Chains A and B, each alone.
Chain A
Amino acid sequence: DGGITQSPKYLFRKEGQNVTLSCEQNLNHDAMYWYRQDPGQGLRLIYYSQIVNDFQKGDIAEGYSVSREKKESFPLTVTSAQKNPTAFYLCASSIWQIGGAFFGQGTRLTVV
């Protein structure tokens, strides 16, 4: 089935550790995105990528890093510099010039 796969579904991180969230899509979409959602709030854009080997900062990129070595994959690393990383993270992909996105099932990250 075509779609977007995020893993893991739940992730626990100790303070000071970096963690990487996985996002894979087989929709042949050029664009991929990472969003963060906090309780009771909308989605905020962290990073996005239009094509392989290129990505741009979104509205809240500080403390995060990404790579786009393959069209299908867009992993997000939450670094120790992110002071409040506990949140729900959603990955999405789309046809770039149309906009809009199809979303994965999300990763819930908790700092312990």
Chain B
Amino acid sequence: AQKVTQAQTEISVVEKEDVTLDCVYETRDTTYYLFWYKQPPSGELVFLIRRNSFDEQNEISGRYSWNFQKSTSSFNFTITASQVVDSAVYFCALSDDDYKLSFGAGTTVTVRA
């Protein structure tokens, strides 16, 4: 069974628009970690955030913000006032009882100038 679902395959926005990436996860564990990664065209994965299952506080880091809702098993990611440099593939991932990362299929974000 798929553990992480990113329903949006591609999102295209104009610079300065906000963009929200959806992530829905599935786990039976009470302790787990959720992650977001950015993959720019160069290919490497850039770690953005890790959130444990006991901390539902939303987080903001500059133009990035994350909304974690256990009730809906979602961990959504918003880029505010998008820039061209935000163009990348974004992955949501889950680490639960076996500590391995399960990745979603990724969402390609294209920001047009």
Contact = CB atoms under 8 A, between A and B. Distances in A.
B36 to A, nearest CB: 11
Interface in B86-113: 91, 93, 95-96, 99-101, 103-106
Given A41-B105, A42-B91, A58 B33 contact: no
Interface in A35-80: 41-45, 48, 58
Interface stretch (A12-20, A21-29, A99-107): A99-107
Interface stretch (B39-47, B56-64, B66-74, B76-84): B39-47
A31 interface: yes
Q: Contact size class for A?
A: 20 to 34
B50 interface: yes
B31 to A, nearest CB: 10
A42 B104 contact: yes
Contact of B100 (A33, A41, A102): A33
